[in-house]
Amino acid sequence: QVQLVESGGGLVKPGGSLRLSCSASGFNFSDYYMSWIRQAPGKGLEWVSYISSRTNIIYYADSVKGRFTISRDNAKNSLYLQMNSLTAEDTAVYYCARVVYYFDKYDAFDIWGQGTMVTVSS
Amino acid sequence: IQMTQSPSSLSASVGDRVTITCRASQNIGNFLNWYQQRPGKAPNLLIYAASSLQNGVPSRFSGSGSGTDFTLTISSLQPEDFGTYYCRQSYSTLLTFGGGTKVEIK
Protein backbone atom coordinates (compact mmCIF):
# COMPACT_ATOMS: atom_id res chain seq x y z
CA GLN A 1 0.00 0.00 0.00
CA VAL A 2 0.99 3.63 -0.32
CA GLN A 3 3.25 4.41 2.61
CA LEU A 4 5.80 6.87 3.92
CA VAL A 5 8.12 5.94 6.78
CA GLU A 6 10.35 8.50 8.47
CA SER A 7 13.51 7.69 10.40
CA GLY A 8 16.57 9.40 11.82
CA GLY A 9 15.05 11.36 14.68
CA GLY A 10 16.57 11.48 18.13
CA LEU A 11 18.22 13.61 20.78
CA VAL A 12 20.81 16.13 19.64
CA LYS A 13 22.64 18.96 21.41
CA PRO A 14 22.07 22.60 20.46
CA GLY A 15 24.25 23.48 17.51
CA GLY A 16 24.31 19.89 16.36
CA SER A 17 23.14 18.23 13.16
CA LEU A 18 20.76 15.46 12.22
CA ARG A 19 19.65 13.87 8.97
CA LEU A 20 16.11 12.64 8.59
CA SER A 21 15.03 10.10 5.99
CA CYS A 22 11.65 9.25 4.54
CA SER A 23 11.22 5.98 2.67
CA ALA A 24 8.36 5.77 0.18
CA SER A 25 6.59 2.68 -1.11
CA GLY A 26 3.47 1.76 -3.05
CA PHE A 27 3.64 4.59 -5.58
CA ASN A 28 5.95 6.00 -8.22
CA PHE A 29 8.02 8.25 -5.95
CA SER A 30 9.79 10.04 -8.79
CA ASP A 31 6.47 11.44 -10.08
CA TYR A 32 5.67 13.43 -6.96
CA TYR A 33 6.73 16.57 -5.18
CA MET A 34 7.48 15.87 -1.53
CA SER A 35 7.47 17.96 1.62
CA TRP A 36 8.53 18.11 5.26
CA ILE A 37 6.19 19.46 7.93
CA ARG A 38 6.88 19.65 11.65
CA GLN A 39 4.90 19.94 14.84
CA ALA A 40 6.41 21.14 18.12
CA PRO A 41 5.05 19.42 21.25
CA GLY A 42 1.52 20.63 21.93
CA LYS A 43 1.66 23.07 19.01
CA GLY A 44 0.24 23.33 15.51
CA LEU A 45 1.60 22.28 12.15
CA GLU A 46 4.46 24.19 10.52
CA TRP A 47 5.49 23.62 6.91
CA VAL A 48 9.30 23.25 6.62
CA SER A 49 10.28 22.59 3.01
CA TYR A 50 9.29 21.01 -0.27
CA ILE A 51 11.09 19.66 -3.30
CA SER A 52 9.91 19.01 -6.84
CA SER A 53 10.02 15.60 -8.44
CA ARG A 54 13.19 16.45 -10.37
CA THR A 55 14.71 18.57 -7.55
CA ASN A 56 14.72 21.73 -9.68
CA ILE A 57 12.25 23.50 -7.36
CA ILE A 58 13.00 23.78 -3.66
CA TYR A 59 11.49 26.09 -1.04
CA TYR A 60 12.10 26.52 2.67
CA ALA A 61 10.27 28.19 5.50
CA ASP A 62 12.07 31.30 6.74
CA SER A 63 12.59 29.62 10.12
CA VAL A 64 14.89 26.95 8.63
CA LYS A 65 16.34 28.63 5.55
CA GLY A 66 20.13 28.43 5.51
CA ARG A 67 20.20 25.67 8.14
CA PHE A 68 18.12 22.85 6.62
CA THR A 69 18.61 21.16 3.26
CA ILE A 70 16.00 19.01 1.56
CA SER A 71 17.04 16.40 -0.99
CA ARG A 72 15.80 13.22 -2.58
CA ASP A 73 17.09 10.09 -4.27
CA ASN A 74 14.48 8.86 -6.72
CA ALA A 75 16.42 5.66 -7.35
CA LYS A 76 16.10 4.82 -3.65
CA ASN A 77 12.54 6.17 -3.25
CA SER A 78 13.81 8.34 -0.45
CA LEU A 79 13.45 11.90 0.79
CA TYR A 80 15.91 13.54 3.17
CA LEU A 81 16.20 16.53 5.46
CA GLN A 82 19.66 17.58 6.59
CA MET A 83 19.31 19.76 9.67
CA ASN A 84 22.25 21.84 10.89
CA SER A 85 22.75 24.43 13.65
CA LEU A 86 19.82 23.00 15.56
CA THR A 87 18.20 24.93 18.38
CA ALA A 88 15.58 24.08 20.98
CA GLU A 89 12.97 25.70 18.71
CA ASP A 90 13.56 22.88 16.21
CA THR A 91 12.28 20.29 18.70
CA ALA A 92 9.28 18.70 16.99
CA VAL A 93 7.80 15.68 15.31
CA TYR A 94 8.87 15.82 11.68
CA TYR A 95 6.50 14.43 9.06
CA CYS A 96 7.17 13.78 5.43
CA ALA A 97 4.23 14.10 3.08
CA ARG A 98 3.42 13.47 -0.55
CA VAL A 99 2.24 16.44 -2.58
CA VAL A 100 -0.57 15.79 -5.03
CA TYR A 101 -1.97 18.24 -7.59
CA TYR A 102 -5.64 18.53 -8.45
CA PHE A 103 -6.84 20.15 -11.68
CA ASP A 104 -3.11 20.72 -12.42
CA LYS A 105 -3.23 23.66 -10.05
CA TYR A 106 -4.29 22.99 -6.46
CA ASP A 107 -1.91 21.04 -4.28
CA ALA A 108 -2.39 19.15 -1.03
CA PHE A 109 -0.55 16.75 1.24
CA ASP A 110 -2.46 13.55 0.60
CA ILE A 111 -0.18 10.95 2.21
CA TRP A 112 1.72 11.48 5.46
CA GLY A 113 4.25 9.41 7.33
CA GLN A 114 3.88 8.59 11.01
CA GLY A 115 6.51 11.16 11.99
CA THR A 116 9.89 11.06 13.69
CA MET A 117 10.69 12.98 16.88
CA VAL A 118 13.63 15.37 17.02
CA THR A 119 14.63 16.70 20.42
CA VAL A 120 17.25 19.42 20.72
CA SER A 121 18.51 19.65 24.27
CA SER A 122 21.75 19.79 26.20
CA ILE B 1 0.38 34.85 4.27
CA GLN B 2 -1.13 34.45 7.74
CA MET B 3 -3.99 32.04 8.32
CA THR B 4 -6.28 32.66 11.30
CA GLN B 5 -8.70 29.99 12.48
CA SER B 6 -11.65 30.38 14.79
CA PRO B 7 -12.66 29.22 17.23
CA SER B 8 -9.47 27.76 18.71
CA SER B 9 -11.57 25.06 20.36
CA LEU B 10 -15.15 23.93 20.58
CA SER B 11 -17.22 21.28 22.28
CA ALA B 12 -20.29 19.86 20.58
CA SER B 13 -22.66 16.93 20.83
CA VAL B 14 -23.03 14.04 18.43
CA GLY B 15 -25.38 15.10 15.66
CA ASP B 16 -24.58 18.82 15.96
CA ARG B 17 -23.66 20.94 12.98
CA VAL B 18 -20.14 22.30 13.46
CA THR B 19 -18.56 25.20 11.60
CA ILE B 20 -14.88 26.20 11.64
CA THR B 21 -13.63 29.31 9.91
CA CYS B 22 -10.27 30.19 8.41
CA ARG B 23 -9.30 33.69 7.30
CA ALA B 24 -6.32 34.51 5.10
CA SER B 25 -4.40 37.76 5.43
CA GLN B 26 -4.69 38.28 1.68
CA ASN B 27 -6.63 36.89 -1.25
CA ILE B 28 -5.64 33.25 -1.81
CA GLY B 29 -8.33 32.31 -4.32
CA ASN B 30 -9.24 28.67 -3.74
CA PHE B 31 -5.74 27.57 -2.70
CA LEU B 32 -6.88 26.12 0.62
CA ASN B 33 -6.91 22.67 2.19
CA TRP B 34 -8.44 21.32 5.38
CA TYR B 35 -6.85 18.56 7.48
CA GLN B 36 -7.99 16.57 10.50
CA GLN B 37 -5.46 15.38 13.08
CA ARG B 38 -6.40 12.95 15.82
CA PRO B 39 -4.16 12.88 18.93
CA GLY B 40 -0.87 11.10 18.32
CA LYS B 41 -1.58 10.62 14.63
CA ALA B 42 -0.52 12.23 11.39
CA PRO B 43 -2.92 14.69 9.77
CA ASN B 44 -5.44 13.48 7.21
CA LEU B 45 -6.54 15.45 4.15
CA LEU B 46 -10.25 16.29 4.11
CA ILE B 47 -10.77 19.08 1.58
CA TYR B 48 -8.67 20.45 -1.29
CA ALA B 49 -9.18 23.47 -3.52
CA ALA B 50 -11.37 24.99 -0.77
CA SER B 51 -14.45 22.88 -1.48
CA SER B 52 -13.53 19.53 -3.05
CA LEU B 53 -13.89 16.43 -0.88
CA GLN B 54 -10.92 14.09 -0.79
CA ASN B 55 -11.68 10.50 -1.82
CA GLY B 56 -12.81 8.40 1.11
CA VAL B 57 -13.77 11.33 3.33
CA PRO B 58 -17.36 11.16 4.62
CA SER B 59 -19.84 13.47 2.89
CA ARG B 60 -20.77 15.14 6.20
CA PHE B 61 -17.59 17.19 5.71
CA SER B 62 -17.79 20.14 3.36
CA GLY B 63 -15.73 23.20 2.58
CA SER B 64 -16.70 26.56 1.20
CA GLY B 65 -15.33 30.01 0.60
CA SER B 66 -12.94 31.83 -1.68
CA GLY B 67 -10.57 34.75 -1.46
CA THR B 68 -9.93 35.39 2.22
CA ASP B 69 -12.75 33.66 4.10
CA PHE B 70 -13.26 29.92 4.27
CA THR B 71 -15.41 27.50 6.21
CA LEU B 72 -15.24 23.83 7.10
CA THR B 73 -18.59 22.36 8.07
CA ILE B 74 -19.40 19.02 9.66
CA SER B 75 -23.11 18.57 9.02
CA SER B 76 -23.72 15.99 11.75
CA LEU B 77 -20.87 15.50 14.21
CA GLN B 78 -19.86 11.89 14.82
CA PRO B 79 -17.80 10.45 17.71
CA GLU B 80 -14.82 9.82 15.42
CA ASP B 81 -14.66 13.48 14.38
CA PHE B 82 -12.76 14.53 17.51
CA GLY B 83 -9.34 16.02 16.95
CA THR B 84 -7.76 19.21 15.70
CA TYR B 85 -8.59 20.71 12.32
CA TYR B 86 -6.14 22.81 10.33
CA CYS B 87 -6.49 24.92 7.23
CA ARG B 88 -3.49 25.42 4.94
CA GLN B 89 -2.90 27.83 2.08
CA SER B 90 -0.77 27.16 -0.99
CA TYR B 91 -1.32 30.42 -2.88
CA SER B 92 2.15 31.45 -1.75
CA THR B 93 5.16 29.19 -2.25
CA LEU B 94 5.77 29.69 1.46
CA LEU B 95 2.99 27.45 2.71
CA THR B 96 1.25 28.29 5.96
CA PHE B 97 -1.18 26.51 8.25
CA GLY B 98 -3.79 27.99 10.50
CA GLY B 99 -3.34 27.63 14.23
CA GLY B 100 -5.85 24.81 14.50
CA THR B 101 -9.31 24.25 15.95
CA LYS B 102 -9.67 21.53 18.58
CA VAL B 103 -13.00 19.72 18.42
CA GLU B 104 -14.20 17.84 21.47
CA ILE B 105 -17.27 15.65 21.75
CA LYS B 106 -19.55 16.48 24.67
Q: Distance between terminal CA atoms of chain B?
A: 34
Q: What is the mean pLDDT of residues A105-121?
A: 97
Q: Is A47 on the interface with B (CB under 8 A)?
A: yes
pLDDT in tens, A27-75: 999 999 999 999 999 999 999 999 999 999 999 999 999 999 999 999 9
User: Which helix H or strand E contains B104, and what residues bound it?
Assistant: strand B101-105
Q: Is B93 on the interface with A (CB under 8 A)?
A: yes
Inspect the interface and report whether the beta carbons of B95 and A47 lie closer than 8 Å.
Answer: yes
Percent of chain A surpassing pLDDT 70: 100
Distance between B15 CA and the closest CA of chain A, angstroms = 27
A104: pLDDT strictly greater than 90: no
Inspect the interface and report whether the beta carbons of A59 and B93 lie closer than 8 Å.
Answer: yes
Contact B94, B37 (CB under 8 A): no
pLDDT for the residue A77:
98
Residues of chain B with pLDDT under 70: none
Rounded to the nearest 10°, the torsion over CA B36, B40, B41, B44 is: 10
Closest-CA residue of A relative to B96 is: A47
β-pairing, B69-74 with A10-12? unpaired
- Best mutation target among A37, A45, A102 (most B Cβ atoms within 10 Å) is A45
pLDDT for the residue B96:
97
Q: In sequence order, what DSSP letters do the residues of A64-112 get, joined into one string?
A: TTTTEEEEEEGGGTEEEEEE-S--GGG-EEEEEEEEEEETTTEEEEEEE
Chain B residues with CB under 8 Å of A50 CB are 95
Is residue A75 helix, strand or coil? helix
